[in-house]
């Protein structure tokens, strides 16, 4: 199985073609998509459990692609990549399962979802910039059209905003890496990382382009800051998440936002670690702002989708906080243990937030289906009485998001704070505010929606059907398992982080 990663990337793409040819029969297209998604999921799980234990790259494929440009077909996964593969596959299957009513052109819709999944797989396995960038863009386009064509009122503007923001980020990324290529003649992540670690990169850039290393770092950073997002580059996100069809929002927040964090881990920190260390303080300030302001903004929203959109910003803000905190120059002699803890937390948080946010948006989809599109925070009330199972299960997801011990969210946030406090006590202290506000937000949601007097408008609000219960159960079980026994994942992640940190230099 030396080509398992290539095959994995190809599976959804092939599924997309079949779905497209299946045409306009909604059930057929969905079935095709589901099969493709499920097969992909199985393959990713197999990859995850077959990883090399010591955190080195597994399943490496390497061949010349465009020799004149130093472009190689270079694939491989470590614990980070493999976990993201699993996450992408899970979220994709969830999104497909959640897309029950596709009004028009279901063939194209499911084809785009699968194409997006293929883009995610490609991004998380690529070890050459060209290859990586190809899939980075490839995932962007289906997302754009999914929003543009199947979104809610005002989707056109949201889609354009989403595309333009991400595209600008992509362009700066591309330019920065082209510049790197000019200076070093390589686009390979491992080569570039090694050069950065041995201190050759900055002189090479200096020699070819002048003192622009920091500019290049900023260019790369911008690309990821938009994607994650880091405030103040987040303005596209609330509109996009709320206008996109909910299953697509699941993909956006569950998987695509991780591309940004992943990029920071795979590209920015290893290659531009020294430059990021130089501007660590302002970055930490922005990350802290993202955590606190994201939570605060979630608190003042009146639309459930927007609430959780901002909440996503807040949750990923923790990842950014930890990432930037880790970027401490060797002269500050940081403790490797705390750095490891922080990065372990980041990777776990990516996974946890992925499944939790996707699950929450899935539940929102179900509410939407029952309410005919109404999703205001104050439009409901007393649902607990009408649909007790629904509220119970959604409650689990909400508490996971809140960070309740025993569920998955707690573990990763704990690890992050455990790591960040020693590295930057001030920002960690301020960021705790974010935790508190988030808790308040989630409790408010539960209060307004689940409890209180029954809104007569929703008398007919149906509880979860058996099918729906079966569908969401595995996710909720996964949340609990990860919360109670994080070691399932943490062992491999820890090995990967240790290996990564050993190869970096700030």
Partner 1 sequence: MLAYTIYLSFAGALILALFPKALQSSARVFALLVALAGLAIALIGFIQAGSSGTVIVADAVWVPALGIRYTLTADGISRVLVLLTGIAAVAGILFSWNIGEKEGDRANEFFAFFLALIGGVYGVFLAADLFLFFVFYEIAIVPKYFLIAIWGSTRREYGAMKLALYSFAGSAMVLIGLLAAYTVSGSHTMNLQAMAQYSFPIHFQMWAFPLIFVGFAILAGMWPFHTWAPTGHVAAPTAASMLLAGVVMKLGAYGCLRVAMTVFPHGLDPWGFSILGLTSWRMVFALLAAIGIVYGAAVALVQNDFKFVIGYSSVSHMGLVLLGLMTLTQIGLDGAVLQMFSHGILAGLLFATVGRIVYERTHTRDLGVLSRLHLGKTMPFAAVLFVIAGMASMGLPGFSGFIAEVQVLIGAWRAFPWFAAVAGVGIVVGVAYTWRAMQRAFFSEATVSTASSGTAHEEHEPYAPVTWAEKAGVALLVGTSLIIGIFPRVLLDVITPAVHALPELLVKGGRL
Question: Which range binds partner 1 by CB under 8 A, 33-41, 163-171, 316-324, 339-347?
Answer: 163-171
Residue 145: CB minimum distance to partner 1, A? 7
Secondary structure (3-state) at 376 = strand
Alpha-carbon distance values, 261 to 93, 155, 239, 386 (Å): 22, 26, 21, 40
d(CA 8, CA 6): 5
The binder of partner 1 chosen from 59, 124, 165, 181 (CB under 8 A): 181
> Residue 188 Cβ, how far from partner 1 at the closest point, in Å?
16
Can you tell me whether residue 71 is helix, strand or coil?
strand
d(CA 212, CA 327): 19
Q: Determine the Cα–Cα distance for residues 152 and 150; give it in Å rounded to an integer.
A: 7
Q: State in angstroms the smallest separation of the CB of 200 from partner 1.
A: 20
Q: Report if residue 130 touches partner 1, rule: CB under 8 A.
A: yes
Listed ranges 90-98, 171-179, 284-292, 328-336: which one lies at the site for partner 1 (CB under 8 A): 171-179
| Binding flags for partner 1, 242-281, as an x/- string (CB under 8 A) | ----------------------------------------
Q: Which stretch binds partner 1 (CB under 8 A): 90-98, 170-178, 257-265, 496-504?
A: 170-178
Per-position x/- string for 48-67, each x denoting binding to partner 1 as judged by CB under 8 A, each - no binding: ----------------xxxx
Alpha carbon distance, N-terminus to C-terminus of the chain:
36
167 binds partner 1 (CB under 8 A): yes
Alpha-helical regions (H) of 26-78: 26-49
List phi, psi (to 5°) of 350.
-55, -50
Distance separating alpha carbons of residues 431 and 296, to the nearest angstrom: 12
Q: Under the criterion CB under 8 A, does residue 204 sit at the interface with partner 1? A: no
- Only segment of 177-185, 335-343, 382-390, 480-488 that touches partner 1 (CB under 8 A): 177-185
Interior CA angle at 330 toward 324 and 333, to 5°?
Answer: 95
- Whichever of 66 and 436 has its CB closer to partner 1, that residue is 66
Query: Is the CB of 131 or the CB of 306 nearer to partner 1?
Result: 131
Interface with partner 1, residue 373, by CB under 8 A: no
Phi, psi (rounded to 5 degrees) for 334: -70, 155
Q: Does 137 bind partner 1 (CB under 8 A)?
A: yes
Q: Rounded CA gap, 211 and 201, in Å?
A: 12
Asked if 410 interacts with partner 1 (CB under 8 A), we say no
Identify the three-state secondary structure at position 166: helix
Choosing from 149, 202, 212, 214, the residue that interacts with partner 1 (CB under 8 A) is 149
Q: How far is the CB of 137 from partner 1 (least distance, A)?
A: 5
Cβ neighbours for 176, distance < 8 A, ≥ 6 positions apart: 215, 216, 217, 219, 220, 223
| Residue found by looking up tokens 């430059």 in the block | 275
Regarding 178 and contact with partner 1 (CB under 8 A), the answer is yes
The verdict on 7 binding partner 1 (CB under 8 A) reads no
**Shortest reach from residue 480's CB to partner 1, in Å:** 40
Q: Pick from 133, 318, 450, 461: which binds partner 1 (CB under 8 A)?
A: 133
Closer Cβ to partner 1, 106 or 419, answer by number: 106
CA distance 240 to 136: 18
8 A C-beta contact, residue 100 and residue 110: no
SS (H, E, C) 261-290: HHHHHHHHHHHHHHHHHHCHHHHHHHHHHH
Among 182, 300, 330, 332, binds partner 1 (CB under 8 A): 182
Answer for the pair 263, 155: CB distance below 8 angstroms, yes or no: no
3 state DSSP class of 447:
helix
Residue whose CB is less far from partner 1, 210 or 453: 210
Q: Site for partner 1 (CB under 8 A): how many residues? A: 28
Q: Does 189 bind partner 1 (CB under 8 A)?
A: no
Binding residue for partner 1 (CB under 8 A) from 48, 110, 124, 145?
145
Q: Which residues contact 173 (CB under 8 A, 6 or more apart)?
A: 133, 136, 219, 220, 222, 223, 224
Whose CA is closest to 309, among 360, 346, 269?
360
Nearest residue (CB) to partner 1, 45 versus 175: 175
Does 448 help bind partner 1 (rule: CB under 8 A)?
no
Using CB under 8 A as the binding rule, the residues of this chain from 68 to 127 that contact partner 1 are 68-69, 71, 104-105, 108
Number of neighbours of residue 167 by Cβ within 10 angstroms? 15
171 makes contact with partner 1 (CB under 8 A): yes
By CB under 8 A, name the binding residues for partner 1: 64-69, 71, 104-105, 108, 130, 133-134, 137-138, 141, 145, 148-149, 156, 160, 163, 167, 171, 175, 178, 181-182
């Amino acid at each position: 199985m030396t080509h398992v990663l290539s095959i994995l990337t190809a599976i959804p793409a092939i599924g997309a073609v079949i779905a497209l040819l299946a045409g306009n029969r909604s059930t057929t297209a969905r079935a095709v998509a589901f099969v493709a998604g499920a097969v992909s999921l199985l393959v990713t799980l197999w990859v995850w459990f077959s990883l090399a234990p010591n955190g080195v790259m597994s399943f490496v494929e390497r061949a010349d692609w465009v020799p004149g440009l130093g472009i190689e077909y270079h694939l491989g996964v470590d614990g980070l990549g493999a976990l993201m593969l699993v996450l992408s596959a899970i979220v994709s299957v969830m999104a497909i399962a959640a897309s029950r009513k596709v009004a028009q052109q279901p063939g194209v819709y499911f084809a785009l979802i699968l194409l997006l999944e293929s883009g995610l797989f490609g991004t998380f396995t690529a070890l050459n910039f060209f290859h990586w960038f190809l899939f980075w863009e490839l995932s962007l386009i289906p997302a754009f059209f999914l929003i543009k064509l199947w979104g809610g009122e005002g989707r056109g503007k949201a889609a354009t905003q989403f595309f333009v923001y991400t595209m600008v980020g992509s362009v700066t990324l591309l330019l920065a890496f082209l510049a790197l290529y000019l200076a070093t003649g390589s686009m390979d992540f491992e080569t570039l990382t090694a050069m950065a670690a041995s201190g050759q990169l900055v002189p090479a850039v200096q020699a070819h382009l002048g003192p622009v290393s920091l500019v290049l770092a900023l260019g790369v950073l911008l690309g990821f800051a938009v994607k994650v997002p880091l405030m103040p580059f987040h303005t596209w996100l609330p509109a996009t998440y709320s206008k996109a069809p909910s299953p697509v929002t699941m993909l956006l927040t569950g998987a695509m936002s991780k591309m940004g964090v992943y990029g920071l881990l795979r590209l920015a920190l290893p290659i531009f670690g020294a430059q990021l260390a130089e501007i660590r303080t302002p970055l930490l300030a922005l990350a802290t702002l993202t955590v606190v302001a994201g939570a605060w903004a979630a608190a003042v929203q009146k639309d459930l989708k927007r609430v959780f959109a901002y909440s996503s910003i807040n949750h990923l803000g923790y990842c950014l906080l930890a990432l930037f905190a880790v970027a401490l120059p060797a002269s500050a002699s940081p403790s490797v243990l705390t750095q490891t803890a922080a990065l372990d937390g980041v990777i776990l948080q990516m996974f946890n937030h992925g499944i939790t946010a996707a699950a929450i948006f899935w539940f929102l989809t179900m509410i939407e289906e029952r309410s005919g599109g109404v999703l205001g925070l104050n439009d409901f009330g007393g649902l607990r009485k009408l649909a007790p199972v629904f509220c119970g299960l959604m409650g689990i997801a909400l508490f996971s998001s809140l960070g309740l011990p025993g569920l998955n969210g707690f573990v990763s946030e704990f690890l992050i704070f455990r790591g960040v406090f020693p590295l930057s006590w001030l920002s960690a202290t301020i960021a705790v505010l974010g935790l508190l506000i988030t808790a308040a937000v989630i409790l408010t949601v539960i209060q307004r929606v689940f409890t209180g007097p029954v809104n007569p408008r929703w008398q007919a609000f149906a509880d979860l059907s058996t099918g729906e219960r079966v569908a969401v159960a595995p996710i909720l079980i996964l949340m609990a398992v990860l919360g109670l026994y994080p070691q399932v994942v943490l062992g491999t992640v820890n090995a990967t982080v240790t290996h990564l940190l050993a190869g970096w230099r700030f």
